[in-house]
Structures are given as structure tokens and as C-alpha cells.
Structure 1
Amino acid sequence: MRKILLALLGLFAAVGINSAVGATLACAVGFAPLAGVAAVNGAALVSGLCGGFTPSGALGAGIYTEVWTGELIKAFRSAAESIGWYQAIRSYDAYVKHDVIHFVDVGADPEILVNNTTYPLTVQDLPDGDKAVELDKFQSRPTPVTDDELHAISYDKMALVIEKHKDQFFEKKYSRAIHSLAPAENAAKTPVLVTTGEATADGRKKLTRADIVALKNKFDKLKIPKEGRILVLCADHVADLLETDQRFEKQVYDYTTGKIAKMYGFDVYEYDECPYYDTTTLKKKAYGAVVGENDRQSSVAFTTKRAMRADGSTKSYLREASSDPENQRNLFSMRTYTICLPLRNEGFGAIVSAKVEAAKAPEEEESV
């Protein structure tokens, strides 16, 4: 009887600990606490059936990482809803195999003959080819959490670590995506325009509605499909329009997704991490490059008909303190695969803040 009572007490303790872990993790990744409680206790039940609960009454390292990985995958899938312009891009997740997507390249477009009188027609081959695109690999550096910390503050520290890793992955994922969608330079099929408004105190020209109309005109002449046109405004350009255009201020209606009402055929969004361009050459700066004196931030335009995004595998890693007797610390890190790219090198554009040259002081008159 005593053994049964002790077993029951141990079971209740394990369920209580697992419930606390599950609820904390679920809150950390943006899900209902009950979902985390059910997930962790479910994993604990499987662990118990396969070999009993762990000595401490909590989950083992393998189960922890499985639970965290599952919750983080759900968070990655749902987080796109908070970035409206990213969500609008077609997802190619279903085509990812081993973190690679295989596209079929059909080669050149078929030639169309008008009022032809010469027969037989010349045969034009359109050979297919395989184009493999590897997803970018994102890894976080391991974060240590000592047993002393966990002993003093329970599992809050670990939940905070997971939350930080998740947030950094999201930030990197979306900033890389908008950078990839921006044209490399001003070209015939990928226009990069400069702003034409009044000069600002920080040495650039403001964005005007006329600049957006000019970009629309470029897209129209390139016969870019009108359906699915997206314009992502950087923070400077949003501020420019808010300061100079009362109509624009009334168009901002969803601060959660950053979406702004349609303007000249574009679905307009706001995003702070848009790429920078060299205002002299109108070439895009490399991702993560140091911003120079001639560099200004841009707003990016694209069509969803020519863009793709895909998420591959996600995995979390945990080394428990029990495997590190010298330091007695846990190590947590993550790895995921994702990509966002143009499908064709057309239907993409940008508007860059023009640099205003500082006024030169008048030269002193030469003394006679």
C-alpha cells in the first residue's frame, strides 16, 4: 500500500512538473497553455510506456527536444500571418524534399507566328531541365542555462531562451526574404527608382505619391500582372507619406500585419528591415553589409506571380546538464531551413531615397 501511494504521489508530481513545462513552452511560442500541457504529458505517457518516467519525474532530453521542435514548427508556420506581405507569397512547402526544391526549367518561350504562309512549320524544341534550389540553413549559437539557474527560477529561464531563439529566427527569416525580393540593380525588367520629394534633415529626398505612380507605370509597361502586386514601404517612406499626405494617414488600418489600403494597384505593407542601395550606382547592398555614406534604405515592390517561399525541416538541440558534470549546464540551440526567392528576374522593383548633396559654402571673393 505504501509503495502504491508513493507511486501515485510520484505520478502526480511528474504530471504537475510536465504541465508546468508544457504551459510555459506553449506560452513562449504563442500557443494556448492547455495545448502545451497536453503535448508534454502526452509525450511523457509515451515515454512511460516505453520505459518509465525519468528519475526526476520530468521529461528526458530526447522528449524535450521533440516537444520544443514541434511547438517551434507550429510557431514558424503561424508567424507568417503577422507579416502580411510574406504571407501573400505562394508557399512551396509541399515541394521541399530533403531541404531542396526541384523546379522544372522549360527553357525558352514558344515562338508565335502571325499570318504564316510557309509550311511545314519549323519545329521548336523546349527542352526541360531540372533546377535544384537548396534552402538556406539557419542555425543559432547554443545558449547555456545552468542547473543553478533552473534550480532558482524553475523553467522560466528555459522558456525565455526558447522565445529569444524563436524571435531571432523570425527576424532573420523575413529580413532575408525582403532582401532577396529586391532587385540587385536598376535594369530593364527590374526598375529601381529614386524619390523626388522635399529634402529632409537627414540628407535624403522624401517619397511622394508621384514616385509610387512612376513605379506603377514601369510595371504596367513591363506587362507585370496587376493581380498580386505588393509594395513594402520602409519606415522612412511611411513617415514621409504620413507627414505630407492626410489621405495616406487614413489608409493605415491594420497595425498588426502592417497592411495599408491599396494604392495604385499595389497592396501596401510596412516593414522596417527593407534593404539598402548605393544611391550612386543604384545597386543593392549585400545582406548585412555596413551602411555607407551614399547608402539609403528602399521600399520594395514585387508580384506574387513571380515569387516563392518555402520552409524545410526544423530541429532543436538540447544537451542536459547531466551530460556535463564539469559545468553542470544545459545547452540549447536550433536549426531550420527556409528560403524566399524570385522565380523569374522580372516583376520586381524598388524606390530608393535619393541622397541630397550638402550645400557648398560660397567661395570667398578674391581680394583685389
Structure 2
Amino acid sequence: MAELIDGLYLNKFVAPQLLKEFRNYNDKFLIALEPAPEGAKTADGLRQNKLINNVGFYVNNTVPFTAKSMTGKNGVIPWDKLDTDPTKVSDAEIRALAFDKRSEVRVKHSQGFRIGVRDYVLNKLAPTQHVSGAMPVLRTSGAIFNGRKRLTFQDLINFYNEIEVLNLIDDDTSESPNFWNMILNADHRSDLKIDKAGTANHRDNLEFDKDTGEFKRFYKMRMWENNAAPLYSATGELKARGSIREAGDQYASTFFYTPNTVYHLEKLKILYKPEYQDTVNADPESEFRLQGYGLCDKKQQYGFGAVISENA
């Protein structure tokens, strides 16, 4: 088997193609997020209002009514600046290599930006911690495997019950099933495939794609899959994106209710300095990176959740 070492071969006796890089680019779940309304976008971020429902209901009332004001709240979801590392390429490299390195660098930046946005969104959707009656975070209870307890069908039922009592029902009932979304991580996806006994009486409600093997639906919850997942500490707090996994940390599967999400990318800039502007280096260098502004967040701290593997 060929071993990879540092550096790149020059032109002589080299196949021109690059070896495939095996990375997880799965970001399908992004289509389930709510887009930002055009009229609400400002230089500061996304502005939003909310009326607090204080309407009472009476039966056989005998006293005069008193009109009440309905108060509101407002907030701003700020923009985040999203960047890739700059990459430099020298004119000497371009002359010596068997492939167009500048072109390939652009491709790698696009791929890196896509992965970064996906991980950024995953962490934004995940609850920071368990909030009873608003953002449930439950632990698994199955058999011990590789230092954690597996997710069982009963665990998924228990989580589903927690979501049902949140009354996440949109006016258009024909669409509402598509508003319930869960992103399964790799461990939990395997756990549900193994837990055949628990699903024996509910096979029709745990739906797989017969061609791809992907989970598609659990009752009225749309299921997504991803090998990337938010990381939680042993005490159940969400860790920052890119954190190093420590003893007791576990990856989560996350739930989100589409109408309470917002996602938008804009002003993606390609920042490129050509080598003919480099008057200093003996081998002139070009530089390339991507920068953009985007936002993803919870419109309100309600209708999100997570399932975390319990430590063994």
C-alpha cells in the first residue's frame, strides 16, 4: 500500500489527478431551516417581535370585563462573520506541479467553508442545556458499548413524548409533520438499527429509505443523518464548536422545530491577491480565502432538544 509523505511531486512521471479526500460534507438538513425574512434584515442582524398571549377564557362570567393591553418583546439575532484561512501559492509551484494548484485551492476552500457552516449551524441549533418544558435534553439508557449506553427505541419514544407536550403545531396541519426534525449522529443511528427487539411492534413508524438505508421518519418526525454532531460535557452542557473531546463528553442527536429557526448566508466574498501584485518575494505568491456574513439561531428558546449518550 502506498504511503503519503509531506510535499507534492513535480511534473515528471506523475499522474495528474489528486487523491480523493474522504471528508463528511453532509449538510442536507439545512433545507429544513427557516429562511430569514427580507424585511427583517438590517446591518445589525435580524430584527424580530413577539406578542405575549394573555387572552383569558371565561364560562358564565357575571362581572364586567376589563380590557388588558397585550405586551410585546423584541430582539436582534446578530450577524456572524465566517472566514476560511488564507492559502498562499507561489509562481514556482504553479510551474512545477502536474495540476492547477490555484484552482484546486479554490475548491478546497469552498469545501472547507461548507463544512464550517454545517458545524456552525449544528451548534447553533443544539440547546445549551436541558430546559424543562422548552428544550428537553435526555440521556440514553441502553446496553453499554464503547464507554456509553446505547440509544433504544424506548429512549426515542420518551423523547418524542417530551416534544409532543411542547404543542409545536403550526396552523397548516398538513405541513406540520415536516416541521419536526431530528439529526441523528452516527452512534445513535447504529443503535437504532441494532435495537430490533424494541422496534418489533413499531417497524412502520421507524422508516428507512430502501435504496440508501437512511432513516427517513419516526412517526411525524423527519429524520436526518450526520457524522458530525454537537458535543456535550458529562454534566450536560453544550461545548463550544471545535472543542477537544474529553473524558465523559458525548455527541448528541439534536431536534429542532423549523418555524423557530432562522438561517441565512449573504455577502460571500472571494478574497484573492494575484501573484503579479507581489513585488517582494523571489517567487511571487498569490493568496486566496473566503469570507462571508451569516446568521443561524433560535428565534426563541423553545422547540429544540437533544439526546445524549449516557456514560457507562
TM range (shorter): 0.7 to 0.9
Correspondence 1:330 to 2:286: yes
Equivalent in the alignment of 1:8: none
Question: Sequence identity of aligned pairs in percent?
Answer: 24
**1:143–1:161 Cα contact (<8 Å) kept:** yes
Equivalent in the alignment of 1:156: 100
**2:207–2:215 Cα contact (<8 Å) kept:** no
Instruction: Give matches, 1:60-79, under 5 Å.
Output: none
Instruction: Give matches, 1:221-236, under 5 Å.
Output: 221-225=165-169, 227=177, 228-236=179-187
| Aligned positions, number | 271
3-state DSSP of counterpart to 2:124: helix
1:119 deviates by 2.8
Which structure's CA Rg is the greater one? 1
Equivalent in the alignment of 2:238: 284
**1:140–1:335 Cα contact (<8 Å) kept:** yes
1:315 deviates by 0.5
Equivalent in the alignment of 2:138: 193
Equivalent in the alignment of 1:265: 220
Q: Aligned match of 1:213 in 151, 157, 162?
A: 157
1:98 deviates by 5.8
Amino acid at match of 2:110: K
Equivalent in the alignment of 1:251: 208
Equivalent in the alignment of 1:126: 71
Structure 2: runs of 5 or more not aligned = 1-24, 170-175
Equivalent in the alignment of 2:13: none
Instruction: Give matches, 1:1-368, under 5 Å.
Output: 83-92=27-36, 94-95=38-39, 97=41, 100-115=44-59, 116-127=61-72, 129=74, 131-153=75-97, 156-188=100-132, 189-200=134-145, 202-225=146-169, 227=177, 228-245=179-196, 251-253=208-210, 255=212, 260-279=215-234, 281-327=235-281, 328-356=284-312
Structure 1 residues 85 and 99, CA, compared in 2 at 3 Å: closer, same or farther?
farther
**1:312–1:338 Cα contact (<8 Å) kept:** yes
1:295 deviates by 0.8
CA RMSD of aligned residues (A): 2.5
CA distance in 1: counterparts of 2:301 and 2:42, whole angstroms: 26
Amino acid at match of 1:295: D
Structure 1 residues 155 and 110, CA, compared in 2 at 3 Å: closer, same or farther?
farther
Q: Deviations over 1:160-194 (max 9, x none)?
A: 10111111111111111111111111111111111
Which structure shows the bigger proportion of residues in helix conformation?
A: 1
- TM-score norm. by structure 1 comes to 0.67
Structure 1 residues 138 and 149, CA, compared in 2 at 3 Å: closer, same or farther?
same
- TM-score norm. by structure 2 comes to 0.79
3-state DSSP of counterpart to 2:247: coil
Runs of at least 4 residues off by over 6 Å: none
CA distance in 2: counterparts of 1:113 and 1:97, whole angstroms: 37
3-state DSSP of counterpart to 1:272: coil
CA distance in 1: counterparts of 2:155 and 2:119, whole angstroms: 24
Structure 1 residues 96 and 126, CA, compared in 2 at 3 Å: closer, same or farther?
closer
1:240 deviates by 1.4
Q: Deviations over 1:56-87 (max 9, x none)?
A: xxxxxxxxxxxxxxxxxxxxxxxx9x633211
**1:303–1:348 Cα contact (<8 Å) kept:** yes
Amino acid at match of 2:52: A
